[in-house]
Structure 1
């Protein structure tokens, strides 16, 4: 009986000694977790603000869709949560190292070592989203002669194609092998790029024609001359970079510069050129 009591006392004493011996490690791990929690909250708040700042800057460049601010707010919250738990993972790894949980620490260390690669992939996708929005707005602005529905469709195709390419590049950065899909998207992207170039060319054609025509109007005619062209007759008041302004009996008329190439111009009188 005495030997049993002695064994129980020794076991209890060993347990108490082990608890006291591990108290510094436990306290250190708890302090690391508390510090990590605070730092992770700060990083989450900064991330949300950074994402919303990017949204504000891009909305100043282009015209945002009606639901875009709400979507970006949700996206900022999701990205903020990802940053929060990534930071917590780092501090949990440090805490397990302090507690000398070797197997668990090694597994978490490998996971933490993968975080920079994962972050690079996410940044590529975010940058692709920003660029896709900018180019979509550029397509909308550069093709005024197209139907509004066609412009919107072309802009959406451009945005989706660029964003898909960014997702593929980000996935490759993370380590996901998608070679066949990347080749397919690259082919589609080439077709879309040709369509965008065609749309921009059609939108700029009239502007260039007016620019060239106005240049030759300035060489051939002078302010003060009276001319008749395109059903209008009047005195030249001004020749701008892309147009000519006439003072007619009905009032001021602005004709596009391309009238120099498209219509015959009759000089009726006034100042001589030169």
Structure 2
């Protein structure tokens, strides 16, 4: 059964999803990537709103920022008491070489739909827009980059200026957030489906059905089609609410409805 027909069946004839167990591994992998991309759409949309004002915000940030360099894995500016926090509806930028703020403070900033960037004393912190899709993955959506990494040792005001105000800064940030979000959503989706597969396999064995673990996994991937679409639609309407658990529950319900019924034993 083709992938297109399986997608159609997920809307109208769930029982046909049992045919998904015959799909080849690479078909399943590609479809997983497609579902992960769909789940990333709310964050992608929010990111386009952020990047539209990135250059203007970047110019204001650079005006406030002193020259600095990384010395002994520490953020070292050329002026004392030069820390500041710049905040708009689209970005919250923290420059804190004095160690007055930490990752928890940055996480508390990431309570809305803004991109949060923090240059702290010993590490750089990036928090993705707080959309329900990403809060299903990690509570704070934080990505931490310690200055001890060789690639970060060349960090400077000039580099930040290029990232925030360059002609391609909007495209660069869009691509960066897209990649990070997609990877996080993909990993989380796979973990959820694997956990569901363990539970669904146990249930299937209790019903005396001969389905392998991999068969159940493949079927669940296609059972997740409708829940994924509904979750994304709901996420656009209510971006601050997480619908991940509801999507998982719907996936299981569709899987159970796809299983063949056990014939009743007639009494003599």
| Fold shared by both chains (TM-score > 0.5) | no
Structure with more contact order per residue of length (Cα contacts < 8 Å, sep ≥ 6): 2
Larger radius of gyration: 1
